[in-house]
Chains A and B, each alone.
Chain A
Amino acid sequence: MSSPLTDKEISELYQQRKGQIEAPSINIDALETAKGEVKTKAKSFSQKFFIILGISSFASFSSF
Chain B
Amino acid sequence: MKLPSTIKGWFNPKSHPDKLLHQFAATNERKYLSALVEEYNQTLFHYLLSQSDKTIAEDILQITWLKVINKKHLYKTNYSAKYWLFAIARNTLIDELRKQHKWCFQELDESHVKSLDLTSQLGTEQQLDQFNIIINNLPFYQREVFVFQQEGFSLKEIATLTDENQETVKSRLRYARQYLRTHLENKK
* Interfacial residues, chain A to chain B (CB-CB below 8 A): 1-7, 9-11, 13-14, 16-26, 28, 31-32, 34-35, 38
A1 and B128 form a contact (CB under 8 A): no
The winner among A7, A16, A21, A35 for most chain B CB atoms within 10 A is A21
A9 close to B186 (CB less than 8 A):
yes
Cα–Cα, bound, A37→B134 (Å): 40
Q: Which of A13, A35, A38 has the most CB of B within 10 A?
A: A13
> CA A38 – CA B46 in complex, angstroms?
26
Q: A24's contact among B58, B127, B177, B188, by CB below 8 Å, is which? A: B58
Q: List 8 A-B contacts (CB under 8 A).
A: A2-B187, A4-B186, A17-B108, A17-B131, A28-B65, A31-B69, A32-B69, A38-B66
Prevailing SS type, chain B contact patch: helix
Task: Say whether, besides A21-B45, A21-B46, A21-B113, A2 and B185 are in contact (CB < 8 Å).
Answer: yes
- Nearest CB in chain B to that of A37: its residue: B66
Determine the chain B residues whose CB is within 8 A of the CB of A19 once the complex forms. 114, 116
Indicate if the CB atoms of B128 and A16 lie closer than 8 Å. yes
A21 to B34, CA, bound (A): 20
- A34 CA to B61 CA, complexed, in Å: 13
List of A residues within 8 angstroms of B128 by Cβ: 13, 16-17, 20
Contact status A24-B61, CB under 8 Å: yes
| A28-B34, A32-B69 known; A22 vs B114 contact (CB < 8 Å) | yes
Interface residues on B, range: 35 or more
Tell me whether B33 and A23 are in contact (CB under 8 A).
no
Quote the shortest CB–CB distance from A31 to chain B (angstroms): 5
Q: Are A17 and B132 in contact (CB under 8 A)?
A: yes
Q: Is B106 an interface residue (CB 8 A)?
A: no
Taken together as a complex, chains A and B put the C-alpha atoms of A57 and B42 apart, in Å, by 51
